Chain A
């Protein structure tokens, strides 16, 4: 353990490691780009489920006002193939869609390592990550941060089904979450000063103003080693544009933190 040692020696090693060695090994160009797909209409489109509130419009607006560039598509324009690996030959176009920008967001329904869209397209409503997706540099693409505003997609029992992704961090839920309209935006804003990994947990544990602790938000981080993994976990900040570029390769370690309020629904 380096970053997390409580000893003075450990802290010094951590500081040197953080300030000198690791940053020197990282690329330097920040890429403030995003891709957002959101499904809210799940009625009568071949992918029946409960209709949802819109949770990414305000995030898109805030990203734009902060100088990010990107695309948001919703409902009939949000396609399953956006998150399917292009090189697999199964109709995926992730290289120009969900895996083409630094931050990639999907909001809708889900399950373990799975997301569901609202409109059937090419015979599909769902995308299963371990068999259909390779986000980030492993498939030669660009995503570094994935956000799933969906149920159970990062349920603890499915962590290994995310190991085919080579991104820095994924944000999601261990259970079925209740999410208010502006919470993804507020999470992004909180990363001005607070690390991504904690900001996601702090923002997403409840609906704003509620004290019911409904959600079990989780941040899953990857690194080339254990120390590198925790360093990324504790360092990356989206709004501060810290580590806003592709992940180092190859991933060998995962590390995660979450608020455990149960796995209801999953």
Chain B
């Protein structure tokens, strides 16, 4: 009887585990399943539209009302690559809008220096806070909560550490939980659209980054279908066949380490608008022996077609043109 109970318990645990994993697995297209390509673009927004979004994000971050005029001025004066612009009635905030990526970034500068706050929130608490923030951003029309799946949240950390040169490490602390949610399109994530919340250990939002490509789609019965260009195809290439191709492509004497591999929509970096189909994407580095020592390559990101086994992989990190030095170097200079 006891043995039966144990078997029953094991069965139930396995069944529950499989059931829990089932939605994520079921969403990944298998050979013979339909996959859809969509038109995607980095949309151009005018200052007013960006300012309205920024106001909503800033108010969610700080939990208080801000004037539209102040935010609008900040957005108008912000530059894509610097952080000079603060918000007049929220001087603790820095704001930055990157038009070519339709991306809004806000940082709470005062929290950056607080590395020894009493830990008021743990990882689970941070996710709860993010859930509420997304609901509020949805209510304010900035994002659609249905585009994000908290079960797929990617969690990173802002850590600080210090110590004397002679001696042991004095401390090592997590000061922010960095929670990234990529936009999900019929169960498949988009590499180039999403939200990242940085939740400070004190329980406040320290930074928000949101935006990326917009998808031209319409939704019916919980599924999105292309509104403009785009098409439905059938997956023909198995994950095993793609993996085989990937590993066969590795140079001799280079040992690959795959950081992650998943089916993703990836917008070509040099295009403002494109029809994008999901790919099996590998993010990896290789280790080689050089001067008798192990050397690690910079990260490579490569995508393989799910519909054409012969299609050349897309190397998102391909070297561009080499710029030669203007003059030869002749001696120690």
Also in contact, A176 and B81, with CB within 8 A (given A6-B114, A211-B180, A212-B283): no
> What is the bound-complex CA distance between A88 and B109, given in angstroms?
43
> Contact mask A166-195 → B, CB, 8 Å, 1/0?
000000000111111100011001101111
B83: CB under 8 A from chain A?
A: yes
Contact of A209 with B103 in the complex, beta carbons under 8 Å: yes
Residue of A57, A72, A194, A210 near B83 (CB, 8 A) is A194
Q: Which chain B residue shows the least CB distance to A93?
A: B332
Known: A4-B114, A190-B83, A211-B182. A110 touches B319 (CB 8 A): no
Q: Which residues on B sit within 8 Å (CB–CB) of A175?
A: 259
A256 proximity list for chain B (CB < 8 A): 160-162
Interface string of A214-236 (1 = CB under 8 A from B): 11100000100010011000100
Quick check: which of B128-136, B137-145, B237-245, B296-304 contacts chain A, the rest being far away? B296-304
| In contact, B320 and A50 (Cβ under 8 angstroms) | no
Q: Which of B154, B180, B193, B332 contacts A97 (CB 8 A)?
A: B332
User: Shortest beta-carbon distance, B174 to chain A, in Å?
Assistant: 8
Complex Cα–Cα for A265 and B283 (A): 10
Question: A211 to chain B: which residues have CB within 8 Å?
Answer: 180, 182, 191-196, 212
* Of B98, B116, B301, B328, the contact of A77 (CB 8 Å cutoff): B328
Complex-state Cα separation, A195 to B112, whole angstroms: 10
Shortest Cβ gap from B107 to chain A (Å): 7
B195 to chain A, nearest CB (A): 8
Chain A proximity mask over B253-268: 1 for CB below 8 Å, otherwise 0: 1100101100000010
Contacts of A54 in B (CB 8 A): 319-323
A176-B297, A264-B259 known; A53+B158 contact, CB < 8 A = no
- Stretch touching chain B among A23-31, A124-132, A139-147: A124-132
- State whether B293 touches A126 (Cβ < 8 A): yes
Within 8 A of B (CB), among A12-27: none
> B113 and A234: CB pair below 8 A?
yes
A166–B184 Cα distance when bound, in Å, is 47
Quick check: is A198 within 8 A (CB to CB) of the other chain? yes
Q: Is the CB of A210 within 8 A of B192?
A: yes
Q: Which residues from chain B contact A151 at a C-beta distance below 8 Å?
A: 285, 295-299
Name the contact of B295 in the complex, choosing from A49, A53, A73 (C-beta under 8 A). Answer: A49
In the complex, are the beta carbons of B162 and A226 less than 8 A apart?
Answer: yes
User: Looking at B212, B253, B320, which has the most chain A CB atoms within 10 Å of its CB?
Assistant: B320
**What 0/1 pattern do residues 298 to 333 of B give for CB contact below 8 A with A?**
111100000000000000111111111100110011
The reply to whether the CB of B294 lies closer than 8 angstroms to some CB of chain A is yes
Is B294 a contact partner of A253 (Cβ separation < 8 A)? no
A134, CB-defined interface residue at 8 Å: no
Decide: B251 and A50 in contact? CB cutoff 8 A: yes
Supposing A176-B299, A186-B81, A265-B299 touch, asked if A111 and B116 sit within 8 A by C-beta, the answer is: no
Q: Could you say which residues of chain A place their CB within 8 Å of the CB of B322?
A: 40-41, 54, 74-75
| Interface residue from A73, A193, A205, A253 paired with B162 (Cβ < 8 Å) | A253
Q: Which residue of B lies closest to A117 (CB)?
A: B290
Cβ–Cβ < 8 Å partners of B109 in chain A? 194
Complex contacts, B42 vs chain A, CB 8 Å: 209
Chain B residues near A254: list those with CB within 8 A.
Answer: 162-163, 165
What are 27 A-B pairs at a CB distance below 8 A?
A: A4-B116, A6-B114, A48-B251, A50-B298, A50-B300, A52-B319, A54-B319, A75-B325, A111-B294, A163-B165, A175-B259, A177-B299, A190-B81, A192-B84, A193-B84, A193-B94, A198-B107, A212-B283, A213-B180, A222-B165, A234-B113, A252-B164, A253-B164, A257-B160, A258-B159, A260-B156, A262-B259
- 7 residue pairs, one from A and one from B, having the closest CB atoms: A211-B194, A265-B285, A176-B285, A178-B299, A264-B259, A255-B162, A151-B296
